[in-house]
Structure formats: structure tokens, C-alpha cells
């Protein structure tokens, strides 16, 4: 079951909400845990045990680290916790990647293991890792209530594709959350906006990409539009999911941190990564980059730390060399910015913005490529190095057909809508602003519903990570 489905919007969610607000306060976490486990079982039944094992073992790790705090044993327990969590992730997500590369290097034929990656394992593994590390560092006390802890890990509205929620940020709300009418209304609006991003923009951009790839003769312009569309599609798909998670969280009394902050208005790659997938960036910053020494020490150590973090960031996204190259690509760019371009980009903001957009487009060509050869062909075609025609009739036809959605996508990836909303929220237009917001939200929900009834199944792109 995905959020962008009729069954979730009109059956599962209303039922869960109605019963949730009827259930006595002391049973709310048990109720949320039950429905969250059902939600996961519905979509990934045979791997429910992996999720439950992750919950139980990390709950125990937290208690043991707390018990043996300030003793050597706590360090050993932390080490075991990290190895077991990463080991489980490595097995399900990367085992065949390693087998394939070993076979290629040593010219042997180790058979592949028949293994399927459980949905959301990258996200709930990082959540539980952040928990045990924070307990070890004394940032949070170990949970003494297994129901509360399992509820934190399995919350259905952020379990499958993030954002990566840290225990320290929701510890109090697991016990003492409240939800008033205003926040519930904000949650509904945010949820519907997230659905609209996914269904009305990301899905349509996906259709445009497929149409352009089906053209018998590709052109430079078609590659350029595909590059823009893929980048926007990924943004609206994942930021849409984050909006849905944050909106649903508010409806149940949880307040999750923002995961995106208009990344395409960034004026440097450094700025871009402060705005894109914030929960992942902050995870690697706090649990890898800073423990390695951050920017302290020699220049070589600093560069080493940047490359380690971005190698891991790329590899986290998928078991493929294109993801590793994608991570190293950003490591190189961030190093160059840090030591050579920072003052120049700060001074020349327009250039910085154009430079950032071009490099981001190239990065997501690498990211979306099925292999390195495909990515190289795409980049060469984009820069007129494959002797392709600039455009043809078919390319122009599809651009005209999808021009409105491209324009809407570009506009909605900027803070323009946010500024308009803020303008109508001032005292002079407050009533009108609220009325317009309600009407617009209802229209979006109707449009999403109509699109879902008419369209084929299309899961969130980030489910595969």
C-alpha cells in the first residue's frame, strides 16, 4: 500500500484516524504500532521479521549501553550494534553487488544469492543506528518502554522512505503528544500538497521522460528536457513523500523536521546539500563527518573526511557504481568549493546559481543511469558530442504537450507559492487567504483522486533506496 493510492487515502487513513482519536491515551502507541506493523505487512509481509528484529535488538542495545555507561562494555556493545545493523543492511541491499564485483575481479563464478531488499531498510536502519549512538553519547536516555520504541521505529507515515527521524526529536511526543484542530488542519493541507507533488507533477514528468525515450531518433533537446524532468521528478517524488510524512505526523501529534528547503534556489553545491534530503545530510554529518574530525586538523584529513562521507552517501543510495561515482562527484565539487570557489561564488550569486543548476543536472544523470556507460552517453549527447540533431518534430511535439507541467514544476520548485501564501496570510487578507487555501486544497485533492482513478500504479521512486 502506497500513500498515493485510493485505498490508503479513502480507506486506510480515515479508519486509522477515527479509531486513533477514540482510543484512550494510554493505548494510542499500542494502536499506532499495531496499524504500522499491519501497513508494513500489507506491502512487505515476508520481511516483517526483519523490521521486528531491528526494533527488538536495538531496544536491547540501548538498554545495555545505558546499563554499562562509562564502562568499556558500553563501547563493545555500541560496536556490536553498529556491526549488526550495518551487516543486516549490507546483506539485503549489497550482497549481490559484492558477489558480482568479486566475480569480475577474480574471474570466478560465485552464484548470486536469491535475496530481495525489504522496503525501507535503509531508512529504519539509520534511525535505529542514530538512536544507539545517541544513547552512547548521552544525548538521549535509553527507552525503557519497548512499545514506545517500536512505535518510533515503525510509524507508518515515515517508515518506508523517511525522513530519517531521530529518537531525540520525538522522545517527548511518544509520551506526551497533543493535536489541536489548527495543527490537524495544517497536517491535512501538507498531506494533500505532498500527494499533489507526487501524483500531479512527479508522475506526469515520468510520463514525459518515457515518451521522450520512446522517440525513434533522440535529439540534444530531448536529452536536455529529460535531464530537467528527471531532476524535477526525483525532487517532487521525494519531497512529496516527505510532505506526506510531515503532514500525517502533525495529524497524529508528531512534529518531524523539514527534509527539503527549495534546493534548486541554491547558489553553490554546498548550499544545495544544506537544502536537499536534510535528514540524510545531517545524519552523515553528525555520525560520520564530525567523529572523523570534520574540518579540524590538516587539509588532507579534511579532504579525506569529505570523500569518506560522500562515498558512503552515494553507496547508501544503491548497490551500483553509478551511485558511488555520484557520491565521489559531489565530494570533488565540495572540496573545490571549500578551498577555491567559496568567496567567488559568494560574490557572484547569479553565476553561482547557474553553475549549481548545471552541475545538479549532470549529477542526476549519473544518479539515474542504469550503468556508467549509459550515463556517459547521456552526458555526451547533452553537450552535442554524439552528432545528434538539435531537435526534431517528435521532440517539439512532446515538449508542447507537457509544457504546462514543466512550467508548473519549475515554479513549484521555488518559494514563489510560499511567498504568495505568506502575502495572503497577513492581517489584511487573512480571511480571504484561509478561504483560498481551503478551496485550493480541495481542488488538489479532487485532481489527485481523478488522476489516481485514471492512472496506472506508480510507486514512490525512493522506495528502491
CA distance linking residue 302 with residue 252, whole number of Å:
42
3-state helix, strand, coil in the chain (%, to 5): 75, 0, 25
Grid cell of 88 as nine digits: 543486516
Instruction: Count, in order, helices (H) and strands (E) of the chain.
Output: 24, 0
Q: Tell me what pLDDT residue 460 has.
A: 56
317 part of the active site: yes
How many beta carbons lie within 10 A of that of residue 359, not counting itself?
Answer: 15
Taking the model in full, what pTM does it have? 0.92
Q: Tell me what pLDDT residue 426 has.
A: 74
Q: Tell me what pLDDT residue 422 has.
A: 82
Q: Which of these, 2, 436, 444, lies nearest to 201 by C-alpha position?
A: 444
Burial 364-402 (b: 16+ CB within 10 A, else e): bbbbbbeeeeebebbbebbeeeeebeeebebbeebbeeb
CA distance linking residue 384 with residue 184, whole number of Å:
51
Q: Tell me what pLDDT residue 30 has.
A: 94
Q: Which of these, 75, 82, 77, lies nearest to 61 by C-alpha position?
A: 77
Query: Which phi and psi (to 5°) does residue 156 adopt?
Result: -65, -25
Residue pair 372/322 in contact by the 8 Å Cβ criterion: yes
CA distance linking residue 57 with residue 83, whole number of Å:
12
How many beta carbons lie within 10 A of that of residue 50, not counting itself?
Answer: 20
DSSP 322-376: HHHHHHHHHHHHHHHIIIIIHHHHHH-HHHHHHHHHHHHHHHHHHHH-SSHHHHH
Q: Which of 255, 317, 348, 353 is catalytic?
A: 317
Q: Where are the domains of the chain?
A: 6-177, 183-464
Q: Tell me what pLDDT residue 261 has.
A: 95
CA distance linking residue 107 with residue 387, whole number of Å:
37
Q: Tell me what pLDDT residue 143 has.
A: 94
Residue-wise pLDDT tens for the chain (465 aa)?
A: 788 889 999 999 999 999 999 999 889 999 999 999 999 888 777 889 999 999 999 999 999 999 998 888 999 999 999 999 999 999 999 999 999 999 999 889 999 998 888 888 999 999 999 999 999 999 999 999 999 999 999 999 888 876 999 999 999 999 988 888 989 999 999 999 999 999 999 999 999 999 999 998 899 999 999 999 999 999 999 999 999 999 999 999 999 999 999 999 999 999 999 999 999 999 999 999 999 998 888 999 999 999 999 999 999 998 889 999 999 999 999 999 999 998 899 899 999 999 999 999 999 999 998 888 888 999 999 988 888 899 999 999 999 999 999 999 999 999 998 888 887 777 677 777 788 888 999 999 999 999 998 865 455 555 555
Residue pair 221/391 in contact by the 8 Å Cβ criterion: yes
Q: Tell me what pLDDT residue 458 has.
A: 56
Q: Which of these, 31, 249, 69, 58, lies nearest to 146 by C-alpha position?
A: 58
| CA-only gyration radius of the chain, Å | 23
Q: Tell me what pLDDT residue 43 has.
A: 78
Amino acid at each position: 500500500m502506497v500513500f498515493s493510492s485510493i485505498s490508503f487515502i479513502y480507506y486506510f487513513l480515515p479508519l486509522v484516524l477515527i479509531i486513533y482519536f477514540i482510543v484512550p491515551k494510554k493505548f494510542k502507541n499500542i494502536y499506532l504500532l499495531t496499524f504500522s506493523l499491519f501497513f508494513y505487512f500489507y506491502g512487505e509481509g515476508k520481511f516483517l521479521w526483519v523490521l521486528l528484529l531491528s526494533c527488538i535488538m536495538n531496544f536491547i542495545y540501548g538498554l545495555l549501553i545505558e546499563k554499562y555507561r562509562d564502562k568499556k562494555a558500553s563501547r563493545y556493545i555500541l560496536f556490536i550494534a553498529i556491526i549488526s545493523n550495518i551487516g543486516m543492511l549490507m546483506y539485503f541491499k549489497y550482497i549481490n553487488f559484492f558477489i558480482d564485483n568479486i566475480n569480475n575481479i577474480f574471474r570466478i563464478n560465485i552464484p548470486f544469492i536469491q535475496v530481495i531488499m525489504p522496503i525501507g531498510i535503509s531508512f529504519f536502519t539509520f534511525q535505529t543506528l542514530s538512536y544507539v549512538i545517541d544513547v552512547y553519547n548521552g544525548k538521549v536516555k535509553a527507552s525503557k518502554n519497548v512499545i514506545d520504541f517500536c512505535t518510533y521505529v515503525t510509524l507508518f507515515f515515515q517508515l518506508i522512505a523517511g525522513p530519517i527521524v531521530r529518537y531525540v526529536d520525538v522522545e517527548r511526543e511518544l509520551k506526551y503528544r497533543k493535536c489541536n484542530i489548527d495543527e490537524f488542519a495544517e497536517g491535512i493541507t501538507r498531506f494533500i500538497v505532498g500527494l499533489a507533488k507526487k501524483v500531479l507533477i512527479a508522475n506526469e514528468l515520468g510520463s514525459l521522460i518515457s515518451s521522450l525515450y520512446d522517440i525513434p531518433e533522440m535529439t540534444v533537446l530531448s536529452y536536455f528536457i529529460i535531464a530537467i524532468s528527471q531532476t524535477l521528478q526525483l525532487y517532487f517524488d521525494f519531497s512529496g513523500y516527505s510532505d506526506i510524512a510531515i503532514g500525517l505526523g502533525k495529524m497524529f501529534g508528531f512534529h518531524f523536521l523539514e527534509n527539503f528547503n527549495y534546493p534548486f534556489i541554491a547558489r553553490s553545491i554546498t548550499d544545495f546539500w544544506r537544502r536537499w534530503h536534510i535528514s540524510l545530510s545531517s545524519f552523515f554529518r553528525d555520525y560520520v563527518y564530525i567523529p572523523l574530525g570534520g574540518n579540524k586538523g590538516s587539509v588532507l584529513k579534511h579532504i579525506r573526511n569529505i570523500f569518506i562521507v560522500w562515498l558512503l552517501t552515494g553507496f547508501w543510495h544503491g548497490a551500483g557504481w553509478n551511485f558511488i561515482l555520484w557520491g565521489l562527484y559531489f565530494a570533488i565539487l565540495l572540496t573545490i568549493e571549500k578551498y577555491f570557489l567559496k568567496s567567488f561564488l559568494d560574490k557572484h550569486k547569479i553565476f553561482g546559481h547557474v553553475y549549481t543548476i548545471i552541475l545538479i543536472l549532470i549529477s542526476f544523470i549519473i544518479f539515474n543511469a542504469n550503468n556508467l556507460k549509459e550515463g556517459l552517453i547521456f552526458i555526451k549527447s547533452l553537450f552535442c558530442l554524439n552528432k545528434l540533431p538539435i531537435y526534431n518534430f517528435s521532440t517539439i511535439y512532446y515538449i508542447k504537450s507537457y509544457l504546462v507541467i514543466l512550467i508548473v514544476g519549475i515554479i513549484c520548485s521555488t518559494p514563489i507559492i510560499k511567498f504568495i501564501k505568506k502575502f495572503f496570510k497577513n492581517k489584511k487578507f487573512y480571511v480571504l487567504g484561509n478561504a483560498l487555501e481551503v478551496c485550493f486544497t480541495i481542488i488538489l485533492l479532487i485532481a489527485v483522486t481523478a488522476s489516481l482513478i485514471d492512472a496506472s500504479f506508480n510507486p514512490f521512486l525512493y522506495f528502491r533506496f
